[in-house]
Amino acid sequence: MRRVKLLAVAAVLAVSVASSATPATATGSAFDSDLVAGRYMVVLESGSLPGRIAAAHEALYGVEVSHVYRHALQGYAAAMSAGTADRIASLPGVDWVEQDRIVRATAQTLPTGINRADADLSPTAQINGVDQRVAADVAVLDTGVSLNHPDLNVNTAGGRNCIISLLNANDDHGHGSHVAGTIGALDNSAGVVGVAPGARIWPVKVLNAVGAGLVSQIVCGIDYVTSKAGQIDVANMSLTGGGSDDGNCGNTNNDTEHRAICASVAAGITYVVAAGNNASNAANSIPAAYDEVMTVSALADFNGLPGGGAAATCSSDQDDTFASFSNFGPDVDIIAPGVCIYSTTSGSSYATMSGTSMASPHVAGAAALYRAVNPTASPAQVRQALLSAGNTGWTNSDDPDGIKEPLLNVATF
């Protein structure tokens, strides 16, 4: 019998957001409290007909299907008993059944992060107070995005609500809108400006009004983004939870989210994710641990300039150093400003937040800039371009692993 796998995803919003999953063992896990009784994800063999199979399982076993996955993987999410989950896991054509877990959100002036990344020098960004929009599309998998914010270019005709499918993806929390503003707030002489001003934002709501959601809802978002692979260039996931990379796209440790992301990256979408805010090794958080994504740690920067010495504006961190809360380790690819970041938020307002959730969208915006002038670039080519353009002009004395990852810089993009 195929085993039913337990997975956890937790994201923290205090001042940022990230998403991940942690497989639990039979002896239990620190993430077991996030398991949702009676809710499972069924992953089918490639080439299956998920809609028909889900309907058949509804009729035969009485499961209540909430999502059908057709693009990033074949499968469905449903309410069912543990006994039914075990029975379905043993059926031919079923790769695995994974118990669902709760996911939680982690968080015109020239914002310090935009300044530090030299976005104001980018010939593609053209930051000069004139609304000339970057020709790129970025999906924000988060709490939604404020659909009518005057400083955002939101694709209101697109997007997906994976929390309540009949509703639009409007942000009822604020975190997703903050992320979206750092990526692409308009260069319009009002409010703030993003790394890739005016990039079209696709709102994908996978977290609810209190910044929480389920792994099945995250997979729903990834599945939607994959279905739009011909239009969406970049996806940002400021979400995190316990888990690890099996080095096999989730096929060894039955990680549904990992399988979905691998397929989405293979379809041409660059994924940028937050490292997490636990001051621990990112190898123990997903999607941060996945090799297929760009994982971003956070820099404390209070004036947008190198050299340090600026007074802290909203935290006890030292200027120009590794943020005290940021996860670290070999799985981190790049660092970007993530402390005291000013950006758009719910409705038509603005707010300051901190976290690797705020660092990640700086890199997502950079990826959008690169794709705007290199529209056929693969995710691997985007990654290499961003890493090559980064610099080491920051102090890593507070970085626990001593690895000085490149600091985001888009001056030549």
Which residue ranges form the domains of the chain, and what is each CATH number? 4-103 (3.30.70.80), 112-389 (3.40.50.200)
Q: CA angle, corner 128, sides to 125 and 130, nearest 5? A: 90
What is the predicted pLDDT for the residue at 336? 98
What's the 3-state SS for 143-165? CCCCCCCCCCCECCCCCEECCCC
- In total, the chain counts a number of residues equal to 413
Cα 170 from Cα 321, distance rounded (Å) = 35
Q: Does 131 qualify as catalytic in the annotation?
A: no
User: DSSP character for 269?
Assistant: P
Distance from the Cα of residue 355 to its chain's centroid: 13
> Which position has the token pair 């089918």?
44
Residue 375's alpha-carbon distances to 98, 103, 186, 380, in angstroms, are 36, 33, 21, 13
What is the predicted pLDDT for the residue at 235? 98
What is the predicted pLDDT for the residue at 5? 36
Q: Is the backbone peptide bond immediately before 287 cis, with ω within 30 degrees of 0?
A: yes
Cα 386 from Cα 319, distance rounded (Å) = 23
Written as six digits, the tokens of 106 are 């982690």
Written as six digits, the tokens of 272 are 């940028």
What is the predicted pLDDT for the residue at 213? 87
Cα 87 from Cα 143, distance rounded (Å) = 34
Residue 5's alpha-carbon distances to 135, 227, 245, in angstroms, are 41, 26, 15
pLDDT tens over the chain, length 413 residues = 333 333 332 233 333 333 333 222 222 333 455 789 999 999 999 999 999 999 999 999 999 999 999 999 999 999 999 999 999 999 999 999 999 988 766 547 789 999 999 999 999 999 999 999 999 999 999 999 999 999 999 999 999 999 999 999 999 999 999 999 999 999 998 899 999 999 999 999 999 998 888 999 999 999 999 999 999 999 999 988 778 999 999 999 999 999 999 999 999 999 999 999 999 999 999 999 999 999 999 999 999 999 899 999 998 899 999 999 999 999 999 999 999 999 999 999 999 999 999 999 999 999 999 999 999 999 999 999 999 999 998 988 778 998 899 999 999 99
Q: CA angle, corner 301, sides to 297 and 306, nearest 5? A: 105
Q: Return the number of other C-beta atoms located less than 10 Å from residue 59's C-beta.
A: 9
User: DSSP character for 121?
Assistant: G
Cβ–Cβ < 8 Å for 299, 359: yes
Q: Does 175 qualify as catalytic in the annotation?
A: yes
> Which position has the token pair 């096929």?
251
Of 239, 324, 337, which is closest to residue 288 (Cα–Cα)?
A: 239
Model confidence, pTM: 0.88
Selected catalytic residue, list 244, 285, 346, 357: 357
Cα 157 from Cα 185, distance rounded (Å) = 18
Kind of pairing between the strands at 234-237 and 270-274? parallel
What is the predicted pLDDT for the residue at 101? 87
Q: Does 333 qualify as catalytic in the annotation?
A: no
Cβ–Cβ < 8 Å for 236, 222: no
Selected catalytic residue, list 175, 178, 258, 362: 175
Q: Residue 376 carries which side chain, given as an amino acid letter?
A: T
Of 43, 136, 48, 128, which is closest to residue 88 (Cα–Cα)?
A: 43
Cα 309 from Cα 52, distance rounded (Å) = 62
Cα 167 from Cα 170, distance rounded (Å) = 8
